[in-house]
Amino acid sequence: MKKIYPALSIVAPMGRHIAQGKKTLEIRSWRPTHLPLKNLLIVENQHYLTQEGDEELGYAVAMVDVESIHSWREDEFDSAMASYWEEGYWAWVLTNVRPIHISMPVIAKRKIYFIEIDHA
């Protein structure tokens, strides 16, 4: 049976850090159009996808829920596992983290996109 999931690509090794529960905030310059985001597939890929239409092969590493988003605060630096802090970004609160233990290659794209997965 096939099911469609919303997906978000994240550059390695941060996808694995989310799957391991180490990274609890995802920092983005944009917000999704609606919340909550349930069963959001985290796809880890190797490069930042900066241009419209950019995509590459990635691996599904976790499923999460995003219940809330707020302005990123400087005291949340560690929760985001960030390399620097800058005002004006959004902190996506990642909850109900479910690691995917079987390596599943999928496409990585920009923003929120959709992936169809065949459940045997």
* Tens-digit pLDDT profile for residues 66-96: 999 999 999 999 999 999 999 999 999 999 9
Q: What is the pTM of this model?
A: 0.95
* Tens-digit pLDDT profile for residues 12-69: 999 999 999 999 999 999 999 999 999 999 999 999 999 999 999 999 999 999 999 9
Give the Cα separation of 57 and 62 in Å (integer): 16
Give the Cα separation of 42 and 26 in Å (integer): 11
The structural domain count of the chain equals: 1
Whether 119 has a pLDDT exceeding 80, the answer reads no
- The enclosing domain of 13 has a CATH number of 2.30.130.30
**Residues in a beta bridge with 108:** 56
Distances (CA, A) of 28 to 75, 78, 117: 16, 15, 26
pLDDT at 19: 97
Which position has the token pair 């005291």? 75
Q: Where are the beta strands (DSSP E) in the chain?
A: 2-11, 25-28, 37-45, 55-71, 90-109, 112-118
What the block records as the tokens of 120 is 């045997």
The domain containing residue 75 runs over which residues? 2-118
CA nearest 64: which of 30, 107, 23, 117?
Answer: 23
Give the chain's largest Cα–Cα span: 45
* Tens-digit pLDDT profile for residues 96-110: 999 999 878 999 999
